[in-house]
C-alpha cells in the first residue's frame, strides 16, 4: 500500500472506524484513540496490507482494540448485565431510533459487534467472521440473537410508551 492509498483509507474509512468504536465503547475519547491506534498500525504495516483488504484489516484492529479497552475498563456488557438491566426502562425515549440505540448498547459485546458490522458497514457473514474470528454460522446466530433481543426490547418499550 502506498502513502496515497493509506491516505485514501483515512478519508474513506476513518468515519466508519470511529462510528464502530464509538458505538462499541460509548466513549468519544476512547473511540478517537482506537481510530488513531488502528490507523497507526495500518501505517506501520502498510507494506504488507493491500488496499483491497485494508477495510477488513482496520475493522479487525479496531475490534480487537475495543475488546481490549472494554476488558480493561470492565465495561464489557456481559449477558448478565444485559439481563439485569434488560427491562429496567428507567430511560425516557422519544422515538424508535433512540430505543434501538439504547437496546444496541445493552447487547452483549459479540452480538453488538456483529450487528454493527452487518448493518453499519454492510459486511457479509464471512467478512464479519474474518474480523471477529467467528465462523459464519456463529456470526449468523449472533446476529439472529441480537435481532431477537432488539425485537423483544422494542416490543417491550412500545408497551411502555
Partner 1 sequence: MKKQKDMDWELFELLEGELTAEQEAELLSKIEGQSDLESEWAFMQMTQLETPEVTYKHKEKLLKKDTTLLTFTAIQWKRVVAIAAMLVLCYPIWNYLIKTQDSGEGIVGSASEIIPKNEVEATITPESLPVEVKKETVAVVKQNSAPIKKTNQPKPTKVIDQTNPDLKTPFEVVSINSTGTHVSIANNIVDVQQPRKAMVRYNMDKDLPRNESRYKGVRSTVNTGLALLATPFRESKIQVQPTDKKTIQIVYSSMQYNATAMVSLKPLK
Helices (H), the chain: 3-25, 28-44, 54-73, 79-85, 96-105, 109-119, 125-132, 136-160
Residue number, 71 or 101, with CB nearest to partner 1: 101
Question: Would you call 52 helix, strand, or coil by DSSP?
Answer: helix
Grid coordinates belonging to 44: 506501520
Grid coordinates belonging to 86: 434488560
Cα angle value 10/15/19 (rounded, 5°): 140
Contact with partner 1 (CB under 8 A) among 1, 18, 30, 123: 18
Judged by CB under 8 A, does residue 51 bind partner 1? no
Q: If you search the block for the grid coordinates 410508551, which residue do you land on?
A: 161
Judged by CB under 8 A, does residue 39 bind partner 1? yes
* Dist CA 96 CA 155 (whole Å): 10
Q: How many CB atoms sit inside 10 A of residue 9's CB?
A: 22
Grid coordinates belonging to 42: 495500518
Judged by CB under 8 A, does residue 52 bind partner 1? no
Residue number, 11 or 80, with CB nearest to partner 1: 11
Residue number, 71 or 160, with CB nearest to partner 1: 160
86-125 footprint of partner 1 as x/- string (CB under 8 A): ----------xx--x---x----------xx--xx-----
Judged by CB under 8 A, does residue 14 bind partner 1? yes
Q: Per CB under 8 A, which of residues 55..74 are in contact with partner 1? A: none
Judged by CB under 8 A, does residue 135 bind partner 1? no
Point out which residues bind partner 1 (CB under 8 A).
2-4, 6-7, 10-11, 14-15, 17-19, 22, 32, 35-36, 39, 43, 96-97, 100, 104, 115-116, 119-120, 140, 143-144, 146-148, 150-151, 154-155
Amino acid at each position: 500500500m502506498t502513502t496515497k492509498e493509506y491516505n485514501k483509507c483515512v478519508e474513506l474509512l476513518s468515519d466508519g472506524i470511529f462510528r464502530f468504536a464509538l458505538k462499541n465503547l460509548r466513549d468519544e475519547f476512547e473511540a478517537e484513540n482506537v481510530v488513531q491506534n488502528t490507523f497507526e498500525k495500518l501505517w506501520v504495516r502498510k507494506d504488507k496490507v493491500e488496499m483491497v483488504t485494508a477495510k477488513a484489516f482496520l475493522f479487525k484492529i479496531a475490534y480487537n482494540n475495543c475488546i481490549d479497552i472494554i476488558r480493561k475498563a470492565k465495561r464489557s456488557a456481559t449477558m448478565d448485565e444485559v439481563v439485569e438491566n434488560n427491562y429496567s426502562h428507567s430511560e425516557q425515549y422519544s422515538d424508535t431510533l433512540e430505543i434501538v440505540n439504547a437496546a444496541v448498547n445493552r447487547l452483549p459485546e459479540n452480538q453488538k459487534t456483529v450487528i454493527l458490522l452487518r448493518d453499519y458497514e454492510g459486511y457479509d457473514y464471512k467478512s464479519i467472521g474474518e474480523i471477529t474470528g467467528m465462523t459464519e454460522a456463529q456470526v449468523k446466530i449472533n446476529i439472529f440473537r441480537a435481532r431477537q433481543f432488539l425485537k423483544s426490547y422494542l416490543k417491550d418499550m412500545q408497551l411502555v410508551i
